[in-house]
Amino acid sequence: MPTNFYMFFIAGIIPMIIGAIYYSEKVCGTKWMNVNGFTKEKLEEGNMPVILGVSYLMSVILSFGLSNIVIHQPNVYQLMIPDVMEAGSAAEATFNEFMATYGDRHRSYSHGAIHEILFTILIALPIISINALFEHRGGAYIGIHFGYWLLTLTAIGALLCGTLVY
């Protein structure tokens, strides 16, 4: 667990900020409402405190998951469990030596962004597309949601890879 674990809670705000801008009428909001058959009145019927609260909680959970994609060092530790957990063990010494040599590798904003761009293309896009196909949605629906998740996941990955301290 990183020493600055509060970054997960900060990263959880990113989807809310990007969503507020991206789905505004000036960007993609009008097109998104048309593609889905939504009206402003219909959207205002929802319980916004619940929607925003659950969305934030899901965004924090998402951030925890994404950190394992953009930061590789904890995965090395996991490979050595349970031996590495024993104080004074050879596995602990090997891990500490490894981290002293390679622990700072690939720990940048750009590295996190690249990983999340790939994740969005290779994982999120197929999920969005499969759902869209079964919901009989078109390419505009896929494009709108893909664009949002590309921006959002890239920003989360960049933030976490560039700031988390293990």
pLDDT tens track for 82-96:
999 999 999 999 999
What is the model's pTM?
Answer: 0.90
The two counts, helices (H) then strands (E), for the chain are: 10, 0
pLDDT of residue 19: 98
pLDDT at position 4: 94
Q: Report pLDDT for 3.
A: 86
Residue 166, pLDDT score: 76
Per-residue pLDDT at 21: 98
* Count of CB atoms situated within 10 Å of the CB of 114: 17
Longest dimension (CA), the chain: 64
- Does the pLDDT at position 61 exceed 80? yes
pLDDT higher than threshold 70 for residue 48:
yes
Task: Write down the pLDDT at residue 162.
Answer: 95
The yes-or-no verdict on residue 1 having pLDDT over 70 is: no
How far apart are alpha carbons 91 and 143 in whole angstroms? 47
Contact 151, 20 (CB under 8 A): no
Token pair 């050879």: residue = 90
Q: H-type helices in 2-138, by residue range?
A: 6-11, 14-22, 29-36, 40-44, 48-70, 73-79, 90-102, 109-119, 125-134
Burial 75-90 (b: 16+ CB within 10 A, else e): eeeeebeeebeeeeee
For the CA atoms of 155, 161, 165, 166, what is the dihedral angle to 10 degrees? 130
pLDDT at 80 over 90: yes
Count other C-beta atoms under 10 Å from residue 63's C-beta.
24
Query: Cα 138 to the chain's mean position, in Å?
Result: 25
